Amino acid sequence: MHRWLVALTACAAQLAQANPIQTREADYLMPNSTGFRMQHGFETVLVQPFGYDGFRVRAWPFRPPTGHEISFVYDPPLEGFEDGQAHGTEFDTAFNGNRSVVIRNGNTIVRTSGWGGNPGGYRLAFYRVESDGSETLLTNEYAPLKSVNPRYYYWNGPGSEFSAEFSFSTTPDEQFYGTGTQQDHLVNKKGSVIDLINFNTHIPTPVFMSNKGYGFVWNMASQGRMEFGQLRNKFTAASATVVDYVIVAAMPGDYDTLQQRLSALTGRAPTPPEFSLGYIQSKLRYENQTEVELLAQEFKDHNVPVGMIVIDYQSWANQGDWGLDPRLWPDVAAMSKKVKELTGAEIMASLWPSVSDQSINYLELQANGYLSATRDGPGTTDSWNGSYIRNIDSTNPAAREFLWATLKRNYYDKGIKNFWIDQADGGALGEAYENNGQSTYIQSVPFALPNVLYAAGTQLSVGKLYPWAHQQAIEEGFRNVTDSKAGEACEHISLSRSGYIGSQRFCSMIWSGDITAVWETLGLQIASGLSAAATGWGWWTVDAGGFQRDPTVPWSTNIDTPEYRELYVRWLQWVTFLPFMRTHGTRTCEHQDAYTCNNEPWSYGEENTPVILSYIHLRYRLASYLRSIFKEFHKTGRMIMRPLYMDFERTDPKIAKWTQTNNNVTTQQYMFGPRLLVSPVTTPNTTEWSVYLPQTGDNSTNPWTYWWTNQTYAGGQTVTVPAPVEHIPLFHLGRRDDIMGGNVF
């Protein structure tokens, strides 16, 4: 204890030396504290040890929280509290800003640093304790002399809800990974400004890791913003009653431990059902029962394995029916049975949150208050196909029960047991700058999103909850109908276009949204997937081939053109090495017979069909490897898609340098599990491809093996390998037999 006090005193002296205003009293060390509550004028700050090596901070002005605020972190965390009890708002020390206090939790310290007369008040600073007893500053509340307070509140109107801006120190060389998904080509988010509002292809989520060795969760349901500056990181909440965040620490470069700590806070993914690890077939869209049954017959005739067949949107009579149109789907149970008998595949059906007044469910939903409203105006939240709609209020538990009961009656009990949660981004239908085609004259006019009113609050205060709650509605239904508990293996699965903090705890994939079918967009998805992984979302996928046509590219989505066929083959190769292998999108062709043209594996020309089928079969040959990496993700939060910094930052200096600058090596290459290095081809007319092979830190002379030739290579070099259209650049570590057998941990 004496050495520890000496170290604390020395650190306090360094702080005082760096600041011209001296501390009034010595630090008060509380090694076994359950937390402290600091009163500072009208403001209260509550700090608690939380999990392993972490702290939870809550702050509020004037009115204390009710204890019923929305939270996305577990209390207690899944790991780190020996008593296994929730700590709520416990604390054992209260003071009013007249002293400095220190709490240690594992290898992390929080310290209040206050100086008399400092207009910044008493700040919080977080340190990691090193093996030699020294301390390393991770971050502290950012408040240069005479600056705006790092905890800043303001009121935009009547009521107790406030807006908040919290600022933390950073350094120019610090790097940040995670933050959900954006179409930005960035793995390191330093310098980014990210709006905390969900829309199609944009799922910002304030969970990130720093290369300094800490993870951060901004545990807020409100809309706001993340700003990662050179000296200051700022997080804003548009409307809140309490500010809530958690910080956890590990040694620099130990990202697996950080992921374990973060997933203990926000949730561990269950293991997915076996069928979902195979090939998932979809297009916009299969129009009727006959088409789906014929499709299943084609898969059988072609001897192509398929795990799931997807029925996309507009398969209902009216928005909000949450059932297939009986005029087009007369016997759902018979269809489900036939598909299963022919292929062994499950069926997934799309649902939207929108309800029109023509829906069979509208009057009951309206009468019971199960539809979201708006703060003013007629209550409609969007429009679709010429009619105004309102969205079901999934923040209301009773509305979630109604939704699931309807889905169970119309789908689940008839054999369709998997659900596609589309358009559920919150507020409107998730198209940020369009009115959903209501008129060609007002598209892209930047109207504000509707100020939606939910049972849980407003769009400003709880808008980030909405997509999460919509996933929760399906999860609760799954768990009830299968008599299983959260975290247990999933029998069924959902697919969502949005999510938020801890979405990985659900039996739910997240995909990257309605992306364009061009080469540049293919490249963008790689960094997006790596950011999803760093956020904690291991269940991630894309629309192979892209979703929609780029009007500036004549061949985009046209399956009869050699240009698009090449793009599709390269894209399909890549999704073989994603957590879920899925194709989807609108397709055009020279002779169109249906709503959209074909998107099946045999639709891209005789010369390409064998290539496409070879990757589908390879996916099934990798089944043991997939089960192994999903199991590890479930147990520890260990990422499936692994940015290169995860495994090689400490063994290869180039990786750290290139990650900082978002070099193409670190935004376009990644590890898929612990053994496979993937470098997708993202340009046309490619016959060879340059790949950087990281230094692995082991003693092997040539640890890397090119999958297609079995040639071995040393790490720490860029190699150029043959990459005809048949081959995605793919390297492996260790024996191929171990990979195929799943013996990789």
Active site residues: 422, 514
CA distance 643 to 41: 45
CA distance 456 to 161: 13
Contact criterion met (CB below 8 Å) for 220 and 243: yes
**Which DSSP category does 580 fall into?**
S
- Sequence-ordered alpha helix ranges (H) in 131-242: none
Is residue 59 classed as helix, strand or coil in its secondary structure?
Answer: strand
Is residue 299 classed as helix, strand or coil in its secondary structure?
Answer: helix
Contact criterion met (CB below 8 Å) for 543 and 584: yes
Q: How many CA atoms are closer than 13 Å to the CA of 105, on its beta-carbon side?
A: 24
In sequence order, what are the residues at sequence separation of 6 or more whose Cβ sits closer than 8 angstroms to the Cβ of residue 56? 47, 48, 50, 73, 219, 244, 245, 246
Contact criterion met (CB below 8 Å) for 230 and 201: no
For residue 599, give the amino acid letter.
N
Question: What kind and span of H or E run contains 418?
Answer: strand 418-421
Q: Choose among 522, 468, 458: nearest CA to 494.
A: 468
Contact criterion met (CB below 8 Å) for 226 and 196: yes
Region of 213 on the Ramachandran plot (φ > 0 left; ψ -120 to 50 alpha; else beta): left
CA distance 94 to 378: 48
Contact criterion met (CB below 8 Å) for 161 and 242: no
- Sequence-ordered alpha helix ranges (H) in 267-328: 289-302
- Sequence-ordered alpha helix ranges (H) in 428-495: 459-462, 465-482
Contact criterion met (CB below 8 Å) for 477 and 493: no
For β-strands 101-105 and 108-113, DSSP reports them as antiparallel
For β-strands 540-541 and 508-511, DSSP reports them as parallel
For tokens 């208050």, the residue is 369
Is residue 206 classed as helix, strand or coil in its secondary structure?
Answer: strand
Contact criterion met (CB below 8 Å) for 394 and 477: no
Q: Choose among 96, 97, 99, 111: nearest CA to 55.
A: 111
Question: DSSP for 83-144?
Answer: T----TT--SEEE-SSS-EEEEETTEEEEEE--TT-TT-SEEEEEEEPTTS-EEEEEEB---
- Cα 534 to Cα 290, 302, 319, 421, 471: the distances in Å are 42, 38, 35, 23, 20
Return the structure tokens found at 103: 């709490």
CA distance 215 to 126: 12
Q: Choose among 430, 470, 475, 471: nearest CA to 454.
A: 470
Question: DSSP for 345-377?
Answer: -EEEEEE-SEE-TTSTTHHHHHHTT-B-EESST
Q: Choose among 538, 530, 529, 516: nearest CA to 645.
A: 530
Question: What kind and span of H or E run contains 38?
Answer: strand 36-40
